[in-house]
Amino acid sequence: MTEAQQLPIGVFDSGVGGLSVLRALRAALPHERFVYLADSAHAPYGERGDAYVGARTHAITRYLLEQHHIKALVVACNTATAAAIHEVRASHLDLPLVGLEPAIKPALAVTRTGRVGVIGTRGTLTSAKFGKLLGSLAEQAQFVVQPCDGLAHAIERSVARPAPVLGAPVGATETGALCERYLQAMGDFGTAPGQIDTLVLGCTHYIFVAHELRALVGPHVQFIETGEPVARQTRRLLETAGLLATPDGAPATDVSRTRLLTTGPVAMLQAAAERWLGLPADCCETVSVP
Ligand code: DGL
């Protein structure tokens, strides 16, 4: 394996949400090394505006390149992708770069009722990038678009609390109450004509409240998220660039391949890494990215 192939892939999000993408990346690319950065000191991005999110995205890209010599970058955040991916691409032409956007095109292949719900941050769903995507598909389905202010932040906060008691009402938790409020505002969910039968999770945090969303929409609504397609796209880019890591003898499950960094409190990242990825606390550390 060449030196370049051995370098890590950088992955970042405003917080712990991008761990859902990291989970898919680790499963699809078992020989790769990863450096994940949660910008939790500056989360949430969703309600902060493009200038702020763009500046954070540039600072983090520079930090991951300079301090960790990443060979590729996955922007595991819909909001940062919408605000800044074009600029990052333009200023780092040689860097294989993967961004995320709400998977409304794949949802078209799934919906039977022709009503597709899309939830995400205000930043993502009011962006020009998303507006263009939506406009290009608007004739093929009815999209019910719902910004979920505060939900990503509530998911960050929920990590430090014990998992909700089985059988408790959804609205009993802060995250559950927000899910309930936003889904109710979207109309009826189900598979009957006129109901929303497909829900696009347009923020990487939201998969971590999938059980609450499921309890609210019922068993037959399809959830569409982006982890696996993003992992496939990352593999394609690495192959094309000749940067895909090859087996090095270490077991594919070796946790030392993954480093988790946060600009916020390390305990929150540790709890999320353990709960959602089964990774030990010593993978995690706090760093400063001014
Ligand atoms: N997880 C992020 C996304 O996919 C952003 C959440 C936030 O910081 O508001 O958009």
What is the secondary structure of 110-173 as a DSSP string?
T-SSSEEEEEE-HHHHTSHHHHHHHHHHTTTSEEEEEE-TTHHHHHHHHTTSPPPPTT--GGGS
Separation between Cα atoms, residue 75 and residue 61, nearest integer Å = 9
Q: What spacing in Å lies between the alpha carbon of 45 and ligand 1's midpoint?
A: 6
88-90-93-96 Cα dihedral, nearest 10 degrees: 40
Number of domains composing the chain: 2
Q: Please say which residue of 199, 224, 249 terminates a domain.
A: 224
Q: Do 108 and 174 reside in the same domain of the chain?
A: yes
Q: Do 126 and 212 reside in the same domain of the chain?
A: yes
Q: Do 252 and 150 reside in the same domain of the chain?
A: no
Give the residue numbers spanning the domain of 200. 104-224
Distances 262 to 58, 60, 116, 141, 244 between C-alpha atoms, Å: 16, 11, 34, 39, 26
Among residues 52, 119, 118, the alpha carbon closest in space to that of 80 is found at 52
Contact between 198 and 189 under an 8 Å Cβ cutoff? The reply is no
SS3 for 252? coil
User: What pLDDT score does 250 carry?
Assistant: 74
User: What pLDDT score does 68 carry?
Assistant: 97
- The DSSP secondary-structure symbol of 8 reads P
User: Closest Cα to atom 2, ligand 1: which residue?
Assistant: 77
Q: Look up tokens 């399809």; give the residue.
A: 222
Distances 64 to 106, 129, 135 between C-alpha atoms, Å: 31, 25, 34
Q: Enumerate residues 6+ apart whose C-beta is below 8 A from 158.
A: 173, 174, 175
Q: Do 199 and 256 reside in the same domain of the chain?
A: no
Q: Do 130 and 158 reside in the same domain of the chain?
A: yes
Q: Do 92 and 231 reside in the same domain of the chain?
A: yes
Q: Which atom of ligand 1 has the smallest separation from the CA of 82?
A: 10
Residues with a catalytic annotation lie at 77, 203
Q: What spacing in Å lies between the alpha carbon of 203 and ligand 1's midpoint?
A: 5
Question: Ligand 1: which residues within 6 Å by Cβ?
Answer: 13-15, 17, 43-46, 77-79, 121, 124, 152, 203-205
SS3 for 280? coil
* pTM, rounded to two decimals: 0.95
Write out the two tokens for 227: 């982890």
Q: What spacing in Å lies between the alpha carbon of 242 and ligand 1's midpoint?
A: 31
Q: Please say which residue of 192, 224, 256 terminates a domain.
A: 224
Q: Do 274 and 243 reside in the same domain of the chain?
A: yes
User: What pLDDT score does 167 carry?
Assistant: 72
**Residue 259 sits in a domain of what CATH number?**
3.40.50.1860
Separation between Cα atoms, residue 115 and residue 128, nearest integer Å = 22
Query: Digits of tens for pLDDT over the chain (290 positions)?
Result: 899 999 999 999 999 999 999 999 999 999 999 999 999 999 999 999 999 999 999 999 999 999 999 999 999 999 999 999 999 999 999 999 999 999 999 999 999 999 999 999 999 999 999 999 999 999 999 999 999 999 999 999 998 777 666 677 888 899 999 999 999 999 999 999 999 999 999 999 999 999 999 999 999 999 999 999 999 999 999 999 999 999 877 766 677 899 999 999 999 999 999 999 999 999 999 999 99
